[in-house]
Amino acid sequence: MAEHDFNIDILEGEECPFCRRKTLTLRQAEREIPYFGNVLIFSMDCEDEECGYHKADVETTEERPPVKQSLQVDSEEDLKIRIVKSSNATIKIPHVGSIEPGEASNGYVTNVEGIINRIKKQVEFLRENAEEDSEKKKAKNMLKKLNKVLWGQEKIMLNLDDPTGNSAIISEKAAKK
């Protein structure tokens, strides 16, 4: 199956929940993810330039128990491990950062490298907006650590917790808690 060999249902001209204009596009696709199962991938995008609302999520087609997994990332090869993350999931890298659930949280299918890059963006934002030099230095050190992980020079632990069961670290290396 090619990367994009699946049908996408598209519904355009719906009312945006934020700007209330009829500029919202809804997308839904069902996809089989190896070693995980069938998932529904949803997204909402407001085409209004001033609004730009976006929301995405991933849900399994069958009910699953809550998920708690951890992964020791200790090689460049580990960066390729696939991660399914729903909007209800929390992903934490201890002493570095986290991706938390909430209104603005999105669901997506990515890999470990994608998660690290998302956390890097958060830390870069914190560094740029820090008022104290100590906060800037702490953020700078976190960025150095994340870059070393991306270069295969340092290890980290990645923890995933999803009460809905719609997320997973797809690897035999992942430990269930």
Whether residue 85 is found in the same domain as residue 51: no
Considering the chain, what percentage of its residues have pLDDT values greater than 90?
A: 81
**pLDDT confidence tier of residue 36, bands split at 50, 70 and 90:** confident
- Based on the fold, state whether residues 173 and 137 are members of the same structural domain: yes
Instruction: Look at 7 and 145; give whichever has higher pLDDT.
Output: 145
Percent of the chain with pLDDT strictly greater than 70: 97
CA 91 to chain centre: 8
Full-model pTM: 0.84
159 and 76 in a common domain: yes
Q: Is the pLDDT of residue 3 over 70?
A: no
Q: Express each pLDDT in 123-151 by its tens digit.
A: 999 999 989 999 999 999 999 999 999 99
Residues 31 and 69 placed together within one structural domain of the fold: no
Of 148, 166, 165, which Cα lies nearest the Cα of 156?
Answer: 148
Read off the CATH number of the domain in which 79 is found. 2.60.120.1040
- Indicate if the pLDDT at residue 45 is higher than 70: yes
Write down which residue in 62, 89, 111 finishes a domain. 62
82 and 32 in a single domain? The answer is no
Q: What are phi and psi of 45, to 5 degrees?
A: -135, 125
Domains: count for the chain: 2
Pick the last residue of a domain from 39, 62, 85. Answer: 62
The predicted model gives 119-125 an average pLDDT of 93
pLDDT grade, residue 2 (50/70/90)? very low
Q: Verify that 96 and 58 share a domain, yes or no.
A: no
Domain containing 4 equals: 1-62
Last residue within a domain, chosen from 62, 82, 114: 62
What are 64-111's pLDDT values in tens digits?
999 999 999 999 999 999 999 999 999 999 988 899 998 788 999 999
Q: E strands within the chain?
A: 8-14, 24-33, 37-46, 54-60, 67-73, 82-85, 90-93, 97-99, 108-111, 156-162, 168-170, 175-176
What span, in angstroms and rounded, lies between the C-alpha atoms of 99 and 37?
Answer: 23
Judgement on whether residues 68 and 46 belong to the same structural domain of the protein: no
What pLDDT, on a 0 to 100 scale, did the predictor assign at position 175? 94
Task: Tell me what the mean pLDDT of segment 12-31 comes to.
Answer: 95
Closest CA to 115 of 80, 77, 69: 80
Q: What are phi and psi of 119, to 5 degrees?
A: -70, -35
Q: Indicate whether 76 and 125 sit together in one domain.
A: yes
168 in the same domain as 86:
yes
Q: For all residues of the chain together, what is the average pLDDT?
A: 92
pLDDT band at 1 (very low <50, low <70, confident <90, very high): very low
What's the pLDDT at 5?
55
Q: Are residues 80 and 34 in the same domain?
A: no
